[in-house]
Structure 1
């Protein structure tokens, strides 16, 4: 079998890339080691930049997001028992959209199926070969039978633990990482959200976040120890802890209910450089991870895919390698700015084991300056809604 681009991974990055390449007339095949149900069962974030929504439209997968997504003009920062609104639209002219990553993935799956494109699910032992030559190929097993696809390029969109980055010689890649000394305990509940906009809270007991998936389904988080286990957090304990971290008005308005999903996620910042290795490219979580504080993970995957899809279109339509040659540097420039912003938000909002009273006071001073300075608020808003491509 032969195709122009083999995409490894059928998460949002791989599916979005496949749709955009199809729109440009570039044949592609997606290989995914899990089943469709498994992929859709991953509970992830859901805060989309306007640029990401535009990409979904270009991929013929944005209609439901426009119907069901919740457009937010701002969000709130809470500290010292009070909330302060950040007006994103006033500061930048842009908004954000609440629309779950699971829904994004489903819409992209449906769009790919409607276009009659090939996705091989439950592909075992996927392995990229010869990507440092002009004749790359990818092998895999399906139902115990060996297959191989010859291609022009390979796109590694298979996440942090995927085979794409793992296939690169250690001497050819450099990684940068910061692991944070806490995690996020998150629950999903069929309860109305406590506020129509997100609430990020800095509290002496630790960070918390109030968000939602719809006006009937809420998503809440509290900072917890990395040593904690989900079974140590029955629903009653979670709700009690969340109430203690919220301002009095929000705590009084909070509607609780049984959780329908509960998990603990560690936080890390991670970047791999470069993002191109001969004829194989990394995109999304395969190349970088950010803590969820800045809502950048899915949106960074989108910007990678935008850069890569345009570079490949230029290669095939204009017979120019300028785009693919510039891909890594262009993508990493935006990645590092988002990594910086996510790190800054995380450092400002969370309780660190070694921060002491001095560190806590510095956080409050930073937040107080932030909400009181038009310039500082504008900087926060500009980064939050997404820097230009």
Structure 2
């Protein structure tokens, strides 16, 4: 029974899943974290249980050894479920990579070269690939890029109104992110509705701590809210989303704040956290319901931005057949789903309050039977999508 090992590598941690190649069932998952610190930590989960271990993990290669120990001690056996390939999440593929790609020395050089565009992610993704190559020298490695799904955006969607020669020199354009999730969810929505993907105009709302919206026509991304970086677009847990760039110039002149501090401000200290002090949407919703003014304002700003993008993409698509919520907030927050679509009945979007509030963890319809637009909740599964794309490459 062959399998695919999926790796999502960060600078000091990596997540992994072992997925059966035929049934697509998750056989095991785990997290190796605090790599390079005095004491590292590892978890391993299967249907049989949950295990934890603390020990020194000096680098990613040592982390892979810890992962292999977990498979040997707690299963499933990699001899009984031999991986046919290792699939890697890579955040930024720039304009070079538009499909899952077999990792060669040249591809790895390109991934590292794109680190200028994703300095927090691509170097860490490359570390995971190198560790996998050392651990599994006989297995192919496949890179699956977050940006690849959005390579179908037309030039007028991905081009900034910036000096063209400057933009070309420094590769400045809109790339979009969360592409693996948007692809998986849009295809899962069509399958759930038993309708051809090519016939559907969809808007997918990936709402987590990071959040983005994608307009999808016939299975192809035609626009998305994140841009040159994941900062653009919706209000997020700690990110501003769209902001007048002159605000940052003004702050720099007034406070002499440095570039790194500005970057920290807009990416880590803003969003709903900066507005309310609450980073978790559950805490924010409870505080807003209790009447806390800052929380109510933050939730209002968050929901208004979603509506702004919904309206824009509805216009770009010339109408929409399906709107789908996914990711942590989108799948679990009843008030966010209700608030994001409240008042849109004239646009053919009607949410059924009972369906929206019903506890359910699978794909489901939350719109009324009379709603011209179907509203869904579809759980995302980026690891499974990476496994599928990896198998496409290795056959």
> TM-score, with normalisation over the residues of structure 2?
0.25
- Is the strand fraction higher in 1 or 2? 1
Question: Which structure is higher in RCO with an 8 Å CA cutoff and minimum separation 6?
Answer: 1
